[in-house]
Amino acid sequence: MELLELMKKRRSIRKYLPKKVEKEKLDKIMEAGLFAPNPGGGQGTRIIMLDDPALIEKIGIINADCENRNINFTVSKDQPSILDDLSIKSGFYGCQALGIICIQKKRKNEVNQIGAAFVCAENMVLEAYELGVSSCIVGRAEATFAREGMQELLDKWGLDPEYTPIVFVCFGYIDGEYPQIKPRYEGRAIYISDSMASGNQ
Ligand SMILES: Cc1cc2nc3c(=O)[nH]c(=O)nc-3n(C[C@H](O)[C@H](O)[C@H](O)COP(=O)(O)O)c2cc1C
């Protein structure tokens, strides 16, 4: 698919089939993340890909519990989120693989380092869509891994203890119809031509 078309059609998917994502596809998705732009060329992000639906479900329930769900806020009508539908138990929506993107703890408040994690997530999401795999970026990663027993999991997986999870990406095959392109709000982009910039117009 042409890249701009792919970016327009990609949507956050919150209902997945109980069907595993092939390892070869997950490898490509991780590779896409590793090739994201990164501040200072430091390649400061670390990616964990968890391919264990039962454990993902357990962590997803903790993740949902880290959100204040008692607010009246609509995220999506066609792909309801944990804020739209309080009966959803897991913040990972039954996804079959979970990307966990990490940055250095001591730099976790630096906007460029946080940005690096999110551009990494975006690369992964776009590669996934190209491969026919649906996805959803999910927050509350630090809060989720601050819960009791969670650091032990990171240790077990071999994450350098100087790193902390900053964002999740759910991956899986969509259960149901793929949603339509979301229309964009007007007036969000400003183009300044050379004549306008210099005030000659
Ligand atoms: C930084 C970031 C954090 C997000 N966190 C969540 C989240 O915690 N839970 C969720 O269901 N969706 C989350 N999303 C997905 C957005 O809700 C989604 O991108 C938005 O509603 C637009 O819908 P679309 O991706 O289908 O175009 C997040 C997206 C971004 C970029």
Half-sphere exposure of 181 (CA within 13 A, CB side): 9
pLDDT, position 28:
98
169, 16 contact by CB (below 8 A):
no
- Residue 27 CB partners (closer than 8 Å, separation 6+): none
CA of 94 to the centre of ligand 1 (A): 16
CATH classification of 3-197 is 3.40.109.10, yes or no?
Answer: yes
What is the CA(143)–ligand 1 centre distance, in A? 17
Q: Report pLDDT digits (tens) over 166-190.
A: 999 999 999 999 999 999 999 999 9
pLDDT of residue 143: 97
* Residue with CA at minimum distance from ligand 1 atom 21: 75
The mean pLDDT value of the chain amounts to 96
How many whole angstroms from 104 Cα to the centroid of ligand 1?
Answer: 23
Rounded alpha-carbon distances, angstroms, from residue 20 to 74, 158, 200: 30, 23, 59
Q: What whole-number distance in Å separates Cα of residue 82 and Cα of residue 14?
A: 9
Which residues line the pocket of ligand 1, CB cutoff 6 A?
Answer: 11-12, 14, 75-76, 81, 118, 136-139, 182
| Dihedral (CA of 67, 70, 75, 81) sign | positive
Per-domain residue ranges for the chain? 3-197
pLDDT tens digit string along 66-111? 999 989 889 999 999 999 999 999 999 999 999 999 999 999 999 9
From 14, 100, 138, 185, the mutation candidate for ligand 1 (largest count of ligand atoms within 8 A of CB) is 138
| Cβ neighbours of residue 157 closer than 8 Å, sequence gap 6 or more | 48
As a whole-number percent, the residues of the chain with pLDDT over 70 amount to 99
Dist CA 85 CA 83 (whole Å): 6
